[in-house]
Structure 1
């Protein structure tokens, strides 16, 4: 994760650096062009002002003529009479060709002696004043001024880059803390990761991850509790099997041995039933994969009644089914069939003499599976508690069972998006319903 953060930091910095470089180049280019244009305007203004000042003078004083003849001066001044006679020239050394006596008034560009010049000409009734400057000189000066104007941008770029690198590090620091907290944890640490100071873009991700950790912690706690309860419940039948096996070994051949074999077979059947119930509960636990197949609830109810019918016949319990119409829905056929079978099986085992199974549509048209019996029922105060695992009724001493039936029913119903409701049946016993949302 630290390498991932370093890569993310480098990528963000590279993207911002490219963006900053492009922006800086664009700004520098625009500044350079703007300063060049302003410098050209300034030089043109100086040419014009020099020419106009000389035009208004009657003559050029010796000291002024000496200044204009300074070799370091970039300007060239020439004065012509209206007849074309050169009255004055400050032409420096190296300028082999004079400005033309007849020039375009105002600004113009001319090429003299292999060099480009910027010329401004002003006229009076007696003379023509021309002031010129080499374009190369003024372009050089303009370029220097422009470069000086963008020099701060070039100096600021490394500083801005360093600041951006630091700011990215500061912005990613909360995420780095979360990463370090996650890396420092063991395999069983499922408490929430710290969310203080996280950016708004990252906080929802960490919150979602914390939610996942919370669900995992709940699921692991349920599994640990389930394993502990299952181990406790399996200890008794396995101990009984060991005792029955010892009795079988010590019993004399004949009726005593046959009785021991029958008890051993019954113990094995009870242990197998408990294992089947545990597997059914594990398949219906939250997080377990559930089939989502098209099925007919009425047909599943018929199959569940057929499964329990032999047990009901031995106990003398009348089981009737009311399922007039098909009830199509999507779900796990095995889980729903097992839930219906457990409801009927509980009614038969806990003293009912009549059991009515109904597969019909509820008040809102949603499928509804109902099991009514005339047994002793469950007191209202205990109806929530009976859904706990290995929770047995008051007749635990006389009724065989694992205490997982209603827990399996509730888990299977939740897995299918349904709910289990317990109430008092019209027959006087318990009414158990699996309701799907309408």
Structure 2
């Protein structure tokens, strides 16, 4: 199992063990250097303590001790003959150079000290292995207590890690104890500094979930309220059609029923469109605004022609190059469809709807939809982007299609604009209503 505690304990254990090993190696080399200094000093003292008079030659058949780890010594006379040695002749190397030297001899390297005393040369030698063994023993004696303390250090590390992770378990238990409706922020008072970024991120997520839940509940409540009226009207119109006594009355009832169905269908379509505009469901790519606007105007040209409205696309900076912005093509098509459709819906017959592209601001492209309708009262402009809100001219209507308005078209425009992080603005020009959407252009 992927456990933070186990990982911390593992790395702490490996780290402590590595430190102990490195300390042992360092102590070994330190003890080796100190042992060399001590034994060198001892060898000098041994040579200096010998008498100055000549030594007698070695007696024939004299027995010598076997090679061990102690210091060994031999003495030469002025003719180079060995007149004394503490061990067998072949056990010690011959070194005529005065002072200290490392000499390769029997049983490995030797540390040799040679000094002239009177007419003799005294040579004191010791195997390097003896010094290394003493240094290793000193290092082991120092490291063993640390190794014996290793279990205690492990227990202390376990306790420290467990106490350090206690706030995480506390936060997890608090989250686990909540139900789906409890979206209050986590209390981070007293939380360690390392845990606070996690609790802040969770609180931010809970706040966004709470906002999304409240928005969804409000949307469902508004949708239910808005659907109740047309469904009730449809039921009444159906009853009227059933009670019609002649063909003319029945035809009028069915015409009202058809209009009611169209209004309800339009409302349901707008509700579904609004519900689909979720940030997580969108993929953003490079979109050519010129091509997109041309397609939108082309699709709605038949609607404009049927209503006797002059619909056109003007792009004074059109040089044949695409105007690329970052966005979702389907969502932007819905945005411009709603803006142009609203302009056509509330522009009287014989009016004009102009879709333009403004490139006067460097690095930005402003899409302008200008109609020649009645406009919107200044007091109502801040509210027309709210869901299911219809301005006064919308309620009165300026054409047959205006009666089908649901109060969702501009809400969908605002939601898509917010998802693309672009501003959308409505204003009265004195000759109708103008909608402006500003996009940052993508680099070429």
User: TM-score under structure 1 normalisation?
Assistant: 0.74
Counterpart of 2:301 (choices 303, 306, 317) is 306
How far residue 424 of structure 1 moved from its aligned partner, in angstroms, is: 1.5
How far residue 358 of structure 1 moved from its aligned partner, in angstroms, is: 2.4
Report if aligned partners of 1:301, 1:359 keep a CA contact under 8 Å in 2: no
Cα deviations across residues 317-362 of structure 1 (Å, max 9, x unaligned)?
x334242547744555554444444344444555745233222224
Across the aligned residues of Structure 1 and Structure 2, the Cα RMSD in angstroms comes to 4.3
Residue in structure 1 matched with residue 176 of structure 2 by the alignment: 183
Cα deviations across residues 292-314 of structure 1 (Å, max 9, x unaligned)?
4445144134235425326634x
Cα deviations across residues 235-268 of structure 1 (Å, max 9, x unaligned)?
1111111122222222224222222222211211
Counterpart mapping for 1:136-285 below 5 A: 141-193=134-186, 195=188, 197-200=191-194, 204=197, 207-285=200-278
| Distance in 1 of aligned mates of 2:302 and 2:184 | 45
Q: Which runs of 5+ in 2 are unaligned?
A: 56-69, 398-402
| Distance in 1 of aligned mates of 2:91 and 2:264 | 122
Residue in structure 2 matched with residue 392 of structure 1 by the alignment: 390
Are 1:406 and 2:410 an aligned pair?
yes
How far residue 212 of structure 1 moved from its aligned partner, in angstroms, is: 3.9
Counterpart of 2:51 (choices 48, 51, 55) is 55
Residue in structure 2 matched with residue 26 of structure 1 by the alignment: 22
Residue in structure 1 matched with residue 436 of structure 2 by the alignment: 433
How far residue 406 of structure 1 moved from its aligned partner, in angstroms, is: 1.5
Residue in structure 1 matched with residue 353 of structure 2 by the alignment: 356
Secondary structure of 2:312 counterpart: strand
Report if aligned partners of 1:339, 1:408 keep a CA contact under 8 Å in 2: yes
Counterpart of 1:36 (choices 27, 32, 35) is 32
1:222–1:134 distance in 2 versus 1, CA, 3 Å: closer
Cα deviations across residues 55-76 of structure 1 (Å, max 9, x unaligned)?
37999xxxxxxxxxxxxxx678
Secondary structure of 2:178 counterpart: coil
Report if aligned partners of 1:347, 1:355 keep a CA contact under 8 Å in 2: no
The total of aligned residue pairs comes to 407
1:57–1:171 distance in 2 versus 1, CA, 3 Å: farther
Q: Which runs of 5+ in 1 are unaligned?
A: 60-73
| Distance in 2 of aligned mates of 1:135 and 1:349 | 105
| Distance in 2 of aligned mates of 1:435 and 1:58 | 112
Residue in structure 2 matched with residue 382 of structure 1 by the alignment: 380
Residue in structure 2 matched with residue 67 of structure 1 by the alignment: none
| Distance in 1 of aligned mates of 2:90 and 2:276 | 107
Secondary structure of 1:30 counterpart: helix
Secondary structure of 2:295 counterpart: helix
Cα deviations across residues 340-391 of structure 1 (Å, max 9, x unaligned)?
443444445557452332222242161413222241x222232111110000
1:255–1:153 distance in 2 versus 1, CA, 3 Å: same
How far residue 229 of structure 1 moved from its aligned partner, in angstroms, is: 0.6
Residue in structure 1 matched with residue 368 of structure 2 by the alignment: 369
How far residue 234 of structure 1 moved from its aligned partner, in angstroms, is: 0.6
Secondary structure of 2:307 counterpart: helix
| Distance in 1 of aligned mates of 2:75 and 2:359 | 114
1:310–1:259 distance in 2 versus 1, CA, 3 Å: farther
User: TM-score under structure 2 normalisation?
Assistant: 0.73
Secondary structure of 1:252 counterpart: coil
How far residue 207 of structure 1 moved from its aligned partner, in angstroms, is: 4.2
Secondary structure of 1:186 counterpart: coil
